[in-house]
């Protein structure tokens, strides 16, 4: 029973991430995330400890649910609290980057 609930919850996360808008995620990243992260390949990050999005894509790009949870979780110095749909869009943008 617990296994079924976990699979159901995971499928909801994946299906909602599939409906995400990577173009909106790119805009959100440019406006919110670029304060610390390099959001485009070959861009330098503003905060050395903040991983560039291309590194995040290589590490988690094939797991949008994990990306969404990481985006929604607290970040040091994060200057905004994204809604779930915004986090899904940002995760969708990250997933478009080379892996």
Helix ranges (DSSP H) in 19-52? 22-28
Q: What is the pLDDT along the chain (99 residues), one digit of tens a residue?
A: 544 445 445 555 554 545 899 999 999 999 999 988 999 877 887 787 888 999 999 998 788 899 999 999 887 777 788 999 999 999 999 999 987
Q: Which of 56, 38, 55 is nearest to 46 (CA)?
A: 38
Give the pLDDT score at 1: 55
Q: Please name which of 10, 81, 91, 56 lies closest in space to residue 45, comparing C-alpha atoms.
A: 56
How many distinct structural domains can be found in the chain?
A: 1
Q: In this structure, what token pair is assigned to residue 83?
A: 């809604």
Q: Is 81 helix (H, G, I), strand (E, B) or coil?
A: coil
pLDDT in the model for residue 10: 53
The CATH number given to whatever domain includes residue 82 is: 1.10.760
Q: Which residue range forms the structural domain that includes residue 74?
A: 2-96
């Amino acid at each position: 029973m617990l296994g079924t609930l976990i699979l159901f919850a995971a499928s909801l996360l994946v299906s909602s991430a599939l409906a995400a808008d990577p173009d909106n995620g790119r805009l959100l990243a440019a406006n919110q995330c670029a304060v610390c992260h390099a959001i485009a390949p070959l861009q330098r990050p503003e905060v050395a400890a903040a991983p560039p999005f291309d590194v995040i894509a290589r590490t988690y790009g094939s797991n949008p649910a994990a990306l969404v949870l990481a985006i929604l979780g607290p970040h040091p110095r994060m200057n905004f609290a994204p809604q779930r749909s915004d986090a899904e869009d940002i995760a969708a943008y990250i997933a478009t980057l080379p892996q």
